[in-house]
A and B are shown apart, each in its own frame.
Chain A
């Protein structure tokens, strides 16, 4: 990727950011940024004051400043809010542009094949090495160990420069209640703090649902916690990691260990 491609001053990024800086003027959006919200309220009040003066009224607050002075103050306040919004929208736009560039790279890059010839990277099959943007999917459950799984998945995603998705497969018609509901909410908040996408899907079959989501999201790594011990007839069936590997060819499946148990193994 060239420096030009990464620049935030490209027309399409600027256009989106400019529109974003205006849509962010919506008080419901602006209230999330308290400093700029207060400036926006000040700008609105000053504008009303100027309009009153422009139509022959007295200055707000009983002062004797001229209308052009009130207008100047209002304009500066609006510009302050718009530029703050623009800076935030530019930062967001840059992140999106980088993600798009990585996706575009797949279709624009010409791969030189080891066995001769060239073809677009997007046409590469499993027979040839692929250069894709990494994407991590962590399969969570509404239980405390999932907090550790999410943190470990976030670390892996950071190292890979990958996006992180969290997937909870909910049994049909059985929404989590009580403690499980609290755990799920806590996981949702953790996902938001770490910048991960939180996905809830209904499904009877964890592996089939995970495989579908992984295919839709372009997942390259799947992280799972320690599988529950298999009991009864399940002992003779295929294990969860084996099923995932079979359903997700070409995707790495990693089991996240509980490091606090390492001492047990050393005894």
Chain B
């Protein structure tokens, strides 16, 4: 794979918001998102959604384990994006639930396309109820990616280490 070196911005000015949660993101989802961003000549904004337990104030820092997952996964995404020549501007957003964090993210970030990974048995993602809610609420283009077909194909996922 040819390294292209990182860029800080996108020539097209387009922004693709890629929210994700949990400790894994499937390679298939990442590959598709990066190919899409490259084809659009867009800036990829991967955003980890951290959940704050109800016994803590919403202003509290995210639990350390969650922050570690976020930091590791964002680092991995940035490395893969650099390999593809896709500029990246990462985020970590928090909320009581993934949906709450997603609401905050949508309020805070500009984007042209929202790419959301669907949950599967092999990787973390948004469940059907969250995706239905998102399709109703989120303005702009929404792209839902289901990482792997449920046909027993080989499964891989990138995990936070």
- A residues near B (Cβ < 8 Å) are 32-35, 84, 87-88, 143-145, 147-148, 151, 154-155, 158, 182-183, 185-186, 189-190, 192-195, 258-261, 263-264, 267
Tell me the nearest residue of chain A to B105, going by C-beta.
A189
Q: Is the CB of A193 within 8 A of B67?
A: yes
Q: Is the CB of B5 within 8 A of A154?
A: no
Contacts of B89 in A (CB 8 A): 144, 147, 183, 186
Contacts of B87 in A (CB 8 A): 144
- How many Å lie between the Cα of A33 and that of B75 in the bound state? 32
Q: Is the CB of B62 within 8 A of A194?
A: yes
Contacts of B1 in A (CB 8 A): 263
Contacts of B83 in A (CB 8 A): 260, 263
- Most B Cβ at <10 Å: residue of A148, A158, A190, A264: A148
8 shortest A-B CB distances, which residue pairs?
A195-B61, A260-B82, A263-B3, A144-B89, A260-B79, A151-B71, A32-B57, A32-B58
Residue from A87, A189, A264 within 8 A of B93 (CB atoms): A189
Contacts of A84 in B (CB 8 A): 55
Q: Is the CB of A144 within 8 A of B67?
A: no
Task: Report the interface size class on chain B.
Answer: 35 or more
Q: Is the CB of A148 within 8 A of B57?
A: no
Q: Is the CB of B75 within 8 A of A259?
A: yes
Say whether B119 faces chain A, with CB atoms less than 8 Å apart: no
- How many Å lie between the Cα of A33 and that of B91 in the bound state? 24
Can you offer 28 A-B residue contacts whose CB atoms are under 8 A? A32-B58, A33-B54, A33-B56, A33-B58, A84-B55, A87-B55, A88-B55, A143-B8, A144-B88, A144-B89, A148-B75, A154-B67, A158-B64, A186-B89, A192-B59, A193-B50, A193-B93, A193-B94, A194-B62, A194-B67, A259-B78, A259-B79, A260-B78, A261-B5, A261-B6, A261-B82, A263-B1, A263-B3
- How many Å lie between the Cα of A191 and that of B50 in the bound state? 14
Chain B: minimal CB distance from A166 (Å): 13
Chain B: minimal CB distance from A138 (Å): 14
- How many Å lie between the Cα of A267 and that of B4 in the bound state? 11
Contacts of A186 in B (CB 8 A): 89, 91, 108
Q: Which of B1-25 contact A (CB under 8 A)?
A: 1, 3, 5-6, 8
Chain B: minimal CB distance from A178 (Å): 11
Q: Which of B64-119 contact A (CB under 8 A)?
A: 64, 67-68, 71, 74-75, 78-79, 81-83, 87-94, 96, 108, 110
Q: Is the CB of B71 within 8 A of A155?
A: yes
Contacts of A148 in B (CB 8 A): 75, 78, 90
Residue from B5, B59, B75, B94 within 8 A of A32 (CB atoms): B59
Tell me the nearest residue of chain A to B104, going by C-beta.
A189
Chain B: minimal CB distance from A17 (Å): 15
Q: Is the CB of A35 within 8 A of B54?
A: yes
- How many Å lie between the Cα of A193 and that of B66 in the bound state? 10
Tell me the nearest residue of chain A to B1, going by C-beta.
A263
Contacts of B88 in A (CB 8 A): 144
- How many Å lie between the Cα of A194 and that of B90 in the bound state? 14
Contacts of A155 in B (CB 8 A): 71
Chain A: minimal CB distance from B110 (Å): 8
Contacts of B82 in A (CB 8 A): 258, 260-261, 263
Q: Is the CB of A193 within 8 A of B62?
A: yes
Assess A190 versus B92: contact at CB under 8 Å? Given A151-B71, A261-B6.
yes
